[in-house]
Amino acid sequence: MPQDHTTPLPISLTAADGYRLGAMHYPASGEPQARLIVAGATGVAQWFYGPFATFAARQGLDVWTLDYRGVGLSRPPDLRGLRMNYLDWARQDLAALLDHVEAQGEGPIWMVGHSYGGHAFGLLPGNERVQRMATFATGAGWHGWMPPLERARVMLLWHVIGPVLVGTTGYLAWSKLGLGEDLPRDLFLQWRRWCQWPRYFFEDPELPGLAEAFARVRTPIRALNALDDLWALPASRDAFLQAYCNAPLERVTLDPRSIGMGPIGHMGYFKPRAEALWRETVEWFRAPLPAPSTP
């Protein structure tokens, strides 16, 4: 009986520290041409990337999605008891998925990141195993990169709403606000701390060596940001991506008014109306890289 390639297959992973993770595999239609990992955004469960993953699988790619610890299929029964470092999502969880994908068949490994997914790549052990990286909506997170009204909303979240939710529930109950998945307390506090700096966690004195780790990345990166993405405008993208200073880097700024796909914001890159962006991204993965320029 032929396999239904539109149905994802659940898989269970174990991170190096023993944490159990829930992931999904979207098998390629036909012979797989490459392996693709989707590294999601903060507070976004992997089901959100299902339409994109299904599209990519129908283009002949084996695709994997993941819920980071504390989120979706990787959420413990009681989120209040989860002690974690925000960097664990890359160094432990995404690393476990990369190890799993590397063991599955042959062919290149590519990655698509959304927001935090673009941060995670530079934190990921063994990221040199990934041949290409495309990221959407990756920015530095600092409120100063945002328009005034969004800046005010974010400051309210960091200093009023977030602390109240964390104080009453023991975690960031984001779902009560309709903003995404609930998040562990430790993650909220660390995220808020980094967002006080224009270059995000690179300015955290408690995290030495991050800039050097990002500078070691040589993987070609294509970064797409929309002019109506209030959380990750192009200036925010550029402030963060300068850390990938030795990687071939292509910046793409999207104007929703000119490409005719409607509002994009911070989440629209992965909604079905964005299929034209998905097709262009798959074509970029498949295309030959331009020869490096001579200094």
Instruction: Give the span between the Cα atoms of 233 and 63, in whole angstroms.
Output: 28
Nearest to 196, CA basis, from 140, 235, 148: 140
Instruction: Give the span between the Cα atoms of 38 and 65, in whole angstroms.
Output: 5
* Largest CA-CA distance found in the chain, in angstroms, rounded: 58
Nearest to 137, CA basis, from 197, 68, 49, 203: 49
pLDDT of residue 3: 45
32 and 63 Cβ atoms separated by less than 8 Å: no
Nearest to 269, CA basis, from 151, 139, 154: 139
Domains and CATH numbers, the chain: 9-139+209-286 (3.40.50.1820)
214 φ, ψ (degrees, to nearest 5):
-70, -35
Distance of CA 166 to the CA centre of its chain: 24
- Under-70 pLDDT residues of the chain: 1-6, 290-295
For 119, the enclosing helix (H) or strand (E) is: helix 116-123
What are the pLDDT digits (tens) for 200-250? Answer: 999 999 999 999 999 999 999 999 999 999 999 999 999 999 999 999 999
pLDDT of residue 55: 97
Structure tokens belonging to residue 49: 């990337």
Instruction: Give the span between the Cα atoms of 107 and 34, in whole angstroms.
Output: 5
pLDDT of residue 289: 74
pLDDT of residue 291: 60
Structure tokens belonging to residue 177: 């606000």
pLDDT of residue 290: 65
Q: How many CB atoms lie within 10 A of CB 208?
A: 8
Q: How many CB atoms lie within 10 A of CB 72?
A: 20
pLDDT of residue 6: 64
Pairing, β 34-39 against β 109-114? parallel
pLDDT of residue 5: 52
Nearest to 115, CA basis, from 268, 255, 218, 263: 268
pTM, whole model, 2 decimals? 0.94
Residue 138 amino acid letter:
T
Instruction: Give the span between the Cα atoms of 122 and 138, in whole angstroms.
Output: 12
pLDDT of residue 7: 85
186 φ, ψ (degrees, to nearest 5):
-60, -40
pLDDT of residue 284: 97
